Structure 1
Amino acid sequence: MTMKYATFITAEEASQNLNNSGFLFIECSYALADPQWGRAEYEKSHIPNAVYADLHDDLSGTIISGTTGRHPLPSKESLTATFSKLGIDENTQVVAYDMQSGAMAAARLWWLLQWSGHQNVAVLSGGKSYWEKKGFPLAGLQTERTPKQYKASFNDDFLVQSDDVLKEIEQTGSCIIDSRTNDRYQGQNESIDPVAGHIPTAISKPFNSLLNPEGMIGDDAKLGDYFKDTPGEAVFYCGSGVTAAFNILLFVHSRKVFPKLYAGSWSEWIADKSRPIA
C-alpha cells in the first residue's frame, strides 16, 4: 500500500517513487527578480517526468492595479483547469518542489491543492538543490502529461479577506503572523513593495527562520517550539501570499491544524491607503 504524503517528503522517499505511476512531480522554481528564470531552470534539468507550474502564469490570478496584491489567487475555475491540465486527479500523489531554499512557490502549489480539497500533496524537503547534491537523477527532456479531470472541493475556511484582518486587529487576543523576513516586518529593508511596515498587532515569524543552508527544516522539536504560542486560528500573511504558504506548511506539519491565510497580504493591504500600518 502506497504511503500518502501531506506535508513534506524527503528526497530519499521521493526517489523511491520515481517510477510510481501514482506520483506526479511538479517543479515550481521561480524568481521574483527574473520571471523567466524558473522555466529555464526547469528546462535545463528537472526530476525525471516532472512537469512545470509557473507561479505567475499558473498559480496566480490577474493583478488589478490598486486592488489586488502581487500574486492574487487564481479563480477557482482557472485553478481547476490548471490542475486538470497538469494531470492531477483524486488518486494522484503530488510532489511539489523548487530550486530555492524555503520552497516558496512549491508551498504555494501545496496550499492551492489543499485549498481545493486535494490532501495528497507534499513539498520535497530541500528542493532540487538538495536532490542534486544527493546524486539523485535529473532529466532534460520535457514531459507531456496526459490531462485528467480534477474534481475540486474548495474550503474557503482556509482564507480571510482584508476586512476580516481589520476585525482581527480590533480583537483582544487575535493573532496575525507576518511571514516576511524580520527587516521587512520592521520596515527597514523594503525592496519589493512601495510602502514599508507591517499590519498592526502582527507578530514576526519569518518563513525561513528554521531553514539550514541546504533548505532543510530543523527537527520537529524546534518547529513545535517556534509555533508553540501560535493558536490554530492564526492568520498568516507575507508580501503577496506566497512565502506565508510555507509558514502554513510548517505549522500544519508541526501542529496538524490548518490556520488561515490572508492571501492578498501586504501588497494588497497597502493598496488601500485607509488601512492602518505599523
Structure 2
Amino acid sequence: MSGMIEFDDAAAKSVEAMYLTPDVVGQRARVLDMLSPKPGERIIDIGVGPGLLAQDLARLVGDTGRVVGLDAAAAMIKMARTRLAALPQAECVEGDACALKFPDAWFDAAVSTQVYEYVADMPAALSELHRVLRPGGRALVLDTDWRSIVWHSSDEARMGRVLACWDGHLADPHLPARLAPLFRRAGFTVARVEIVPMLSPHWQPVSYAAGIMRAIHGYARGNGARYGLSEVEVQAWYDDQLRLIERGEFFFSVNRYAFLATRQDAVGP
C-alpha cells in the first residue's frame, strides 16, 4: 500500500518512545499474563519492534528457552538486537509474517502485537502461524479496531477526515472484528478475548495518546492529499487539540483487543 508507514530509524525511535509509555507498559503486562510463558519454552514474537516484549519473554523462558523476534523492518531489527544483546536465548531475524522460515511445530507459543493489522493476506499469515506452532501451542494476537476511538474535538467532521486518512496506513483498521473467524478457519480455537484500552481522560505528555497524536499529525501532513485533506486542514486539527489541552478539555480513548488462541491438530473447515 502506498500509504503504509516506512519504519526507518526515526520511526523506530518514535515507536520505542510510545512503547515505553505507562499505557503500553501496562499492555505488555496484560499480554504476558494472557500468554503465560514458561521456562524452557520456544516463543516467536512476530513484529518484534523495539524488542521490549521479546526482552520480557526471554527473561521468562530463561536459559533453557528460546525467543525469536521477527520483523520486516531492518531498523526495528537493529534496535531489538541491541536491546536483546545480553540475552543469549534471544535472537532477531528479518522476515515476513506470511512466510515464516522455521520448521513445522517448532514453537510452543507465538505473540504478535499491533502487527497483523498491517498484513493484507491474513489467511496466509495465520496458516503460517498454525504451521510453526506445535499442536496445542498458544498464539496471542493483539490489534486495534480504530472504530472504537473516542477523541474529543471542536470539529468532529474534520476529526473524522483525519482519522479516515490514518486508517489508510493499515491493511485492515478493523481487524479485531474479523479475527475470531479467521482464527477458526486457520485451525485455532479461540480461548479468551480481552479489551486493552488506551485511555487518556486528560492530557498526559508521556502517554500513548500523546505519541499517536504526533504520529497522526506527521502522517496526515504527508498523505492527507490522497484523502482530500490539505496541510492547512491537518494543521488546524492539530492546533485545535493543542487548544483543548490548554483548556483542560483533552480526552482520548481507543480499544485494543487481545485474542488468545490454541492450535488444533488439524485445520478445520
TM-score by structure 1 length?
Answer: 0.27
Tell which structure's C-alpha radius of gyration is larger.
Answer: 2
TM-score by structure 2 length?
Answer: 0.28
